[in-house]
Amino acid sequence: MKEKQFHLQTEKSSYVMMVNAKGVLCHLYYGERLNTVTIGSTQIDRETNLDNLPVECAVFGTGDYRIPTVEVELENGSMVNELRYKSYQIMEGKPKISGLPSTYAEEGDDVSTLVITLEDEHAGFEADLIYSVFPSYNVITRRIRYRNIGTNSQTIQLHRALSFSIDFEQDNYELLQLSGAWAREKTVYRRVLVPGIQEIDSKRGISSAVQNPFLALLGEHASEDAGEVYGFNLVYSGNFVGSVEVDSNHRTRVAMGINPFQFGWEIGMSQEFETPEAVLVYSNKGLGEMSRTYHKFYRERLCRGTYQFKERPILINNWEATYFQFTEEKLLEIAAAGKELGMELFVLDDGWFGHRDLDDSSLGDWTTDYRKLPNGLASLANKVEELGMKFGLWFEPEMVSIDSKLYEAHPDWCIHVPERAPQSTMHQRNQLILDLSRQDVCEYIIRSVSSVLASSKISYVKWDMNRSMTDCGSITLDAKNQREFSHRYVLGLYYILETITSSFPDVLFESCCSGGGRFDPGMLYYMPQTWTSDDTDAVERIKIQYGTSLVYPPVTMGCHVSACPNHQVGRMTSLKMRGDVAMCGNFGYELDATKFTQEEKKQVEAQITFYKEIRHIVQFGELYRLQSPYDREGNEAAYCYVTEDKAEAVVFWYQILARPASRLTRLKLEGLNPMLKYQIVGTGVTAYGDELMKLGLERFVENGDFRSEHYVLKAIE
Ligand code: DGJ
């Protein structure tokens, strides 16, 4: 710190703040790395109108009319807030956030944390602005801890408690967001900022398929490979908001955190409130570099556990093969057929418990349905293991069906508000959500799931969640605390996940929320992979996986080949293309493998052999997006994955529809070592990285609809 300045540095970025003459903590700079900062800002120092200041934590009631970061109500009803610099502290490493997922530093990491404390002396309220700096990852994380120091009020009410806000000097940015719907997750939208508030949010109790808790500001002309990009991603799985406000001075405020909509939190004397952290990435080489920064950081400093750095098994899931109608015999036939082709894990999806023949019963009763599995679950798991495969199982632990023993015993355990029957007119997917703000409910889930996991050889769990919240409230909360419910639910979920995943460290957990409805860094902290989308159509998946890859690493993206006509959109695509699309992430199959023709069997076997050869590149290499499915009328896409040492690469290219008079078929690769000579395996062609990146790789493609190609490159000298 130089005088009243704070300068955070990563290898490629700088983040600078200053305290002005009035004691307001102001934002000075975030962008390309500065060696030193010797100039401050006289304007900022002298400015007395808060509305004109770029602040680091914004409050309302004292002159700043933009979106506040925090809103505090005192016992006397006052909502006038004012925050001034009090003190700072620097510590080595990165402290954990109690009860919340977060990125972490390993011992020996060059990571430090700056805590700047701001205070509202009158209110007896403090905010710790917490910045952790990961220099070699080029990441800065931010969060805020709010505290009642009890000088003027017994309790204070938080109406808004965001994780951070940051004020940029200009407004000439585009906003990028990942929005969509069930089965159409993470479509990339870009829009030019305009004066006023532009916002993404979720009120669904989950981060949601509709908006992902990620947004980016793109500088002028920013593209995949060039230009300034600022990424903001919230490590949270519940209701969130991401706001961008352009003010009358052409400045831009970005703020993110728990959604203030129907939120409230009471802080008693000397108590604190922790907010989820946000991960900030700056790139001056476009979106591609931003994504690679997130990918590496999340693989290495967000995901945890036995599978963090392990190649993930190729699975076959029975959902689209049988839905709820299966017998033990049928499951074993599918598993055996999969094993014969090289698959490694058989996953039994929904319908194995209670008496669940449709989606209208048994959630909450995690006991085997002996009508379908007469020899029990343990016996099925053993038989799958005897085939030489691992066995995996589906759960939806956060739910209860009205037609269930659990609901009969504990009708009050579902989310509902006093004196109103839960969702009396409509039950989304015929099910209710358990009240995870209650300790007894959390303990039931931990007990029931753990006892199944301990009873059989289960190596993998698919943790599903299939509806948005309604009837938000808990009968265990006082009237004045009902607004705490949605966040308390998320805290309960995180407690359950921490307990179960640490009790079963060798189980591979995959999170799912009707596909990608809760694909966020919060869930990735507990479960290192997520089912990307219920849409398994290869064409739709190109866009879904492209959008997902903007932030989330390919190894975290579950991607499966399914049968045609596709169950979601009815489209027929080639098996080759379905395989090539699914190989761009964590590969598997979701179909009845007993139904393959001889020709299909050969193709599938070859796909599996191929994926085993390249999975270390896709899962742990660096991703370069060569062609976007959003450009050129959305007809083509291409990716290149390169190992960190640049010795190996794999390229995927897709064409959706054939076009007459099509363009030159060269594909300019990226990420290779220009000086290394590469062999394009199986083609007899060799070329230098330099040539492949500038002149391009010639594609050997016949025209036709739904085409795809893949190429493997190996450095030879
Ligand atoms: C939704 C998931 O996304 C599907 O893959 C499947 O597991 C179903 N739920 C089962 O109900």
At residue 154, the pLDDT reads 86
Residues 6+ apart with CB under 8 A from 329: none
CA–CA gap between residue 702 and residue 212 (Å, rounded): 38
If phi > 0 it is left, if psi is from -120 to 50 it is alpha, else beta; for residue 609 that is alpha
Token pair recorded at residue 224: 């995949």
Nearest CA, atom 9, ligand 1: 514
Helix (H) or strand (E) holding 177, with range, is strand 174-179
Residues with CB under 6 A from ligand 1: 319, 349-350, 394, 464, 466, 512, 514-515, 531, 534
CA of 420 to the centre of ligand 1 (A): 29
CA–CA gap between residue 145 and residue 277 (Å, rounded): 10
Helix (H) or strand (E) holding 677, with range, is strand 677-680
CA of 192 to the centre of ligand 1 (A): 36
150: confidence class by pLDDT, cuts 50, 70, 90: confident
Reported as a single tens digit per residue, the pLDDT across 619-646 is 999 999 999 999 878 899 999 999 999 9
Reported as a single tens digit per residue, the pLDDT across 4-59 is 899 999 999 999 999 999 999 999 999 999 999 988 899 999 998 999 999 999 99
With the most atoms of ligand 1 within 8 angstroms of its CB, the residue from 208, 350, 559, 591 to mutate is 350
Spatial strand order of the sheet with 707-715 comes to 622-627, 636-642, 648-655, 707-715, 677-680, 685-688
At residue 710, the pLDDT reads 96
The residue type of 684 is G
717: confidence class by pLDDT, cuts 50, 70, 90: confident
With the most atoms of ligand 1 within 8 angstroms of its CB, the residue from 185, 208, 318, 319 to mutate is 319
Nearest CA, atom 5, ligand 1: 534
At residue 671, the pLDDT reads 98
Beta-bridge mates of residue 559: 587
Beta-bridge mates of residue 642: 622, 649
Q: Which of 128, 167, 369, 534 is catalytic?
A: 534
Residues 6+ apart with CB under 8 A from 352: 368, 369, 372, 373, 377, 393, 394
At residue 262, the pLDDT reads 97
Nearest CA, atom 1, ligand 1: 514
At residue 1, the pLDDT reads 40
CA of 217 to the centre of ligand 1 (A): 34
At residue 152, the pLDDT reads 64
pTM here is 0.98
Reported as a single tens digit per residue, the pLDDT across 263-306 is 999 999 999 999 999 999 999 999 999 999 999 999 999 999 99
Terminal CA-to-CA distance of the chain, rounded, Å? 48
> How much of the chain is helix, strand and coil, in % rounded to 5?
25, 30, 45
CA of 534 to the centre of ligand 1 (A): 7
CA–CA gap between residue 214 and residue 242 (Å, rounded): 8
Short-list 1, 42, 36, CA closest to 20: 42
Q: Where are the beta strands (DSSP E) in 209-361?
A: 211-218, 229-234, 240-246, 252-258, 265-267, 272-274, 278-283, 315-317, 345-348
Token pair recorded at residue 664: 């030159």
Averaged pLDDT score across all residues of the chain: 96
Cα-based torsion angle of the residue sequence 296, 302, 308, 313 in order, rounded to the nearest 10 degrees: -80
Token pair recorded at residue 672: 């290779």
Short-list 549, 624, 614, 626, CA closest to 583: 614
With the most atoms of ligand 1 within 8 angstroms of its CB, the residue from 322, 534, 567 to mutate is 534
Q: Which of 128, 369, 464, 520 is catalytic?
A: 464
Reported as a single tens digit per residue, the pLDDT across 92-101 is 999 999 999 9
Residue 471 bears catalytic tag:
no
Nearest CA, atom 3, ligand 1: 514
Nearest CA, atom 10, ligand 1: 350
Nearest CA, atom 11, ligand 1: 350
CA of 350 to the centre of ligand 1 (A): 7
- Give the number of the atom of ligand 1 that is nearest the alpha carbon of residue 534: 3
Backbone angles phi, psi at 524, to 5 degrees: -65, -25
Query: Which stretches of 212-360 are DSSP H helices?
Result: 286-301, 319-322, 328-340
Reported as a single tens digit per residue, the pLDDT across 372-391 is 999 999 999 999 999 999 99
Polymer length of the chain: 717
Residue 534 bears catalytic tag:
yes
